[in-house]
């Protein structure tokens, strides 16, 4: 199981939200590049970089941060937030992102998202499948749709997508444990999916539980920033 630290960006700084609520913003560091270098220095290879400003603006806002991290580290960066047009995904890749995560666009504009799978290849595209009560949530989680989670993932898996980040919004940022049972169900329903668990990780024990479940990766944010897990503990996985 790969550990994938998360850096969420507002105003160019590292922040975390709880359950996608922008009013719950807590700032952890004013230099995302320095934070990324800490992860790299510990031997971690991947980074989940989220432009929360971009998610609201529906276009990339923190482009300079993406460029700086990609130019000054060897981290494999997957980037998301505000990518809802051809120009934006092309910009993300040109700035150094190895993969791009699309969530809202996959729901709101499936024709466009399908075209990206064809143009860039399924290995370069991560499906963002964020859910509230097993329904897909979009727009920085400010809108819950009527779309069922597992059929949604399955429909894109059948189109070639293999990488999926699944966040249970009810768990995110609360340090109360991940939705392991949900992830096991998804993997049982969709064998071969490279499922990346996100939300709720609070301890090494949670990560060990996720590893046993068979998920491809686990995104860790608040647990690290709040001192619940150390860099050394994160680096011991994978």
Residue tagged active-site, from 8, 53, 78, 168: 8
For the question of residue 8 being annotated catalytic, the response is yes
In the beta sheet, which residues pair with residue 220?
5
Cα–Cα separations (whole angstroms), residue 194 to 13, 115, 153, 162: 30, 21, 11, 5
What's the rounded Cα separation, in Å, for the pair 229 and 207? 10
Query: Which residue carries 């940022």 as its tokens?
Result: 173
Q: What is the chain's alpha carbon radius of gyration, rounded to the nearest angstrom?
A: 16
Cα–Cα separations (whole angstroms), residue 57 to 62, 82, 90, 121, 158: 11, 6, 17, 26, 30
Residue tagged active-site, from 51, 53, 78, 130: 130
Q: How far is CA 71 from the centre of its chain?
A: 20
For the question of residue 130 being annotated catalytic, the response is yes
Instruction: List, by residue number, the catalytic residues.
Output: 8, 130
């Amino acid at each position: 199981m790969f550990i994938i630290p998360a850096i969420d960006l507002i105003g160019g700084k590292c922040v975390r939200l709880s359950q996608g609520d922008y009013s719950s913003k807590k700032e952890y560091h004013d230099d995302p590049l320095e934070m990324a270098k800490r992860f790299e220095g510990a031997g971690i290879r991947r980074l989940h970089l989220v432009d929360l400003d971009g998610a609201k603006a529906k276009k990339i806002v923190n482009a300079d941060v993406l460029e700086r991290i990609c130019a000054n580290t060897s981290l494999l960066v997957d980037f998301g937030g505000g990518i809802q047009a051809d120009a934006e995904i092309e910009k993300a890749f040109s700035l150094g992102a190895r993969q791009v995560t699309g969530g809202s666009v996959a729901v709101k504009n499936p024709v466009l998202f399908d075209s990206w799978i064809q143009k860039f290849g399924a290995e370069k595209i991560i499906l963002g499948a964020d859910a509230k009560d097993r329904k897909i949530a979009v727009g920085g989680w400010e809108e819950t749709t009527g779309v069922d989670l597992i059929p949604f993932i399955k429909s894109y898996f059948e189109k070639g997508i293999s990488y999926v980040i699944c966040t249970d919004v009810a768990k995110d940022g609360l340090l109360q444990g991940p939705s392991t049972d949900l992830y096991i169900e998804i993997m049982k329903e969709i064998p071969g999916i490279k499922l990346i668990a996100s939300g709720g990780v609070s301890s090494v024990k949670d990560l060990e539980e996720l590893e046993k479940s068979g998920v491809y990766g686990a995104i860790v944010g608040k647990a690290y920033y709040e001192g619940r897990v150390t860099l050394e503990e994160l680096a011991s996985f994978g």
